[in-house]
Structure 1
Amino acid sequence: MTKERLDRALVNRGLVESRSRAQALILAGQVLVNRQRELKAGRMVEAADTVELVSPMPYVSRGGVKLAAALEAFEVNPTGWHVVDIGASTGGFTDCWLKHGARHVWAVDVGYGQLHWQLRQDPRVSVYERTNARYVTRDQLGLEDGVDAGSVDVSFIGLRLILEPLRNLVKTQGLVIVLIKPQFEAGPTAVGKGGVVRDPAVHRQVLYRVLEDAAGLGWAPEGLIASPIRGPEGNIEFLAALRLDGDARPLPIEDVVERAWQGEGAHG
């Protein structure tokens, strides 16, 4: 009997438009095989197997689910805001900002050709590809004034290198939500096989250092949660709310990490 990968089956059965979309839904836990949740895109399925979606993905990628959780947890209402999205990639964060009422989003990414076509055609989105956020300026983005808020989802680079130039893009008291990826913040000796951080102590160390670095750059930490969805290979990630020139609040880092490891804040 012929078998095929689950991500291909989703496309071939007309449930999604692309394999990348299928993979995002699978990783987000939105796909059932024979009424059982399946988290592996490479799972082989037969024609007789029932494949269905738990619910349609509300955003163009699973990143939108992460940002939506942060907006809810931090009680952020971005209606009418101008936002810069650093590391836009497919556009999950950008899409989430728009669906929550943002007026305009500047989608910035060092890559090319990744942003979802729906967002490319949206007049509320300004696309800046092949753009290194470490050196981006207001003039480059055509900004006369600072934006109301920002978001950051980057890989293979420490957040400190992004937060410093971001000061020049966001207005005073502006809010930035950053996705903290311990696998890219911890030293190589702290990251296990497959690029996965398997020690909660490393998570705590990373969070303390990243938030301390942010405060040193003028970004006051206001909130912290574990991402509701894990990153690639099952990495636990975190979302923090930072206020430019704001008043820092004590954050329950120990509790957030503990809950994440107990499975209360991050799912595969």
Structure 2
Amino acid sequence: MTSESTPSESSGGFVSRAGAKLEAALTAFNIDVAGLACADLGCSTGGFTDCLIQRQAARVYAVDTAYGELAWKLRQHPNVITLERQNALHLDPNGPHHRPKTAKLFDDFQGVHLVTIDLGWTKLNKALPAALQWLRHDQPTTIIPLIKPHYESGQHQLSDAEAQRISHDVAETLANDQIQLKDLIPSPVRGGKGNNLEFLAHLAINPS
């Protein structure tokens, strides 16, 4: 068994397989996160967070409903702000925060440049409004959601063609006057539940 703080060979050098998914997206979308503030909604063990930190992100807010799941090396990293037992759909980084400990973590919050989304059992049209609350409003920003077609469709197992069709449809519905769908790529790592093909989208957000 591999401990949560020791990357396995299949995880691409990250604490979980999710890191390889985000790495592929950042490379394909030509996004440099060095020096940027980021938020990882649905961090779980921390694959996305680990990828962002390894690519020199200045700060990562790691949000998850679970407790004690984030890999130890990330929990101890000075650039990771751990937000456990927090529902990403309901956590407004701009406050008010009813827990003093949570409020302190947002003392100097000025918005982030990039939000990643990897939420289970949640359709992206419900997650996107929550992600938008994290972003800066004075410059272009980015959201990279992992599209899980089995959650979007309610079907446990899908053919690759079905997964691609559903993911493309979902990505298109996320775009509007403020949000531009710039790219969509298949994840190099299949979903852990059902072994379905998943996709990552590049959403460019215009300043409001």
Give 3-state SS (helix, strand or coil) of 1:230's partner.
Answer: coil
Aligned counterparts, 1:136-175, within 5 A: 136-138=91-93, 139=95, 140=97, 142=106, 144-172=109-137, 173-175=140-142
If asked which structure has higher relative contact order (CA below 8 Å, sep 6+), I would say 2
Q: Which amino acid aligns with 1:223?
A: D
Q: Which amino acid aligns with 2:117?
A: V
- Check the 8 A contact 1:163/1:217 in 2, yes or no: no
Q: Does 1:117 align with 2:82?
A: no
Q: Does 1:135 align with 2:63?
A: no
- Check the 8 A contact 1:171/1:244 in 2, yes or no: no
Q: Does 1:222 align with 2:182?
A: yes
Give 3-state SS (helix, strand or coil) of 2:113's partner.
Answer: strand
- Check the 8 A contact 2:167/2:199 in 1, yes or no: no
Give the whole-Å Cα distance in 1 for the aligned partners of 2:23 and 2:87. Answer: 25
Q: 1:105 aligns with which of 42, 52, 60?
A: 60
Give the whole-Å Cα distance in 1 for the aligned partners of 2:69 and 2:54. Answer: 20
Distance 1:202 1:95, change over 3 A: closer
Q: 1:205 aligns with which of 141, 154, 166?
A: 166
Higher mean displacement: 160-169 or 77-86: 160-169
Note the alpha carbon deviations across 1:155-196, whole angstroms, 9 max, x for none.
10101111112111112421111110000001x3xx2xxx21
Work out which of the two has the higher radius of gyration on C-alpha atoms and give 1 or 2.
1
Figure out how many residues of one structure are paired with residues of the other and give that number.
194
TM-score (norm 1): 0.67
Q: Which amino acid aligns with 2:182?
A: E
Give the whole-Å Cα distance in 2 for the aligned partners of 1:68 and 1:122. Answer: 19
Measured after TM superposition, the shift of residue 222 of structure 1 is 1.1
Give the whole-Å Cα distance in 2 for the aligned partners of 1:230 and 1:148. Answer: 27
- Equivalent residue, structure 2, for 1:58: 13
Q: Which amino acid aligns with 2:135?
A: V
Gaps of 5+ in 1: 1-10, 31-56, 247-268
Q: Does 1:238 align with 2:199?
A: yes
Q: Which amino acid aligns with 2:114?
A: A
Note the alpha carbon deviations across 1:53-102, whole angstroms, 9 max, x for none.
xxxx4111111111000010000111100000000000010010011110
TM-score (norm 2): 0.85
- Check the 8 A contact 2:186/2:199 in 1, yes or no: yes
Note the alpha carbon deviations across 1:214-258, whole angstroms, 9 max, x for none.
113832111111000111231100011111127xxxxxxxxxxxx
Measured after TM superposition, the shift of residue 103 of structure 1 is 0.5
Give the whole-Å Cα distance in 2 for the aligned partners of 1:205 and 1:226. Answer: 12
Note the alpha carbon deviations across 1:192-215, whole angstroms, 9 max, x for none.
xxx21126145313422x223311
Measured after TM superposition, the shift of residue 21 of structure 1 is 7.5
RMSD value, Cα: 2.2
- Check the 8 A contact 1:219/1:242 in 2, yes or no: yes
- Check the 8 A contact 2:5/2:72 in 1, yes or no: no
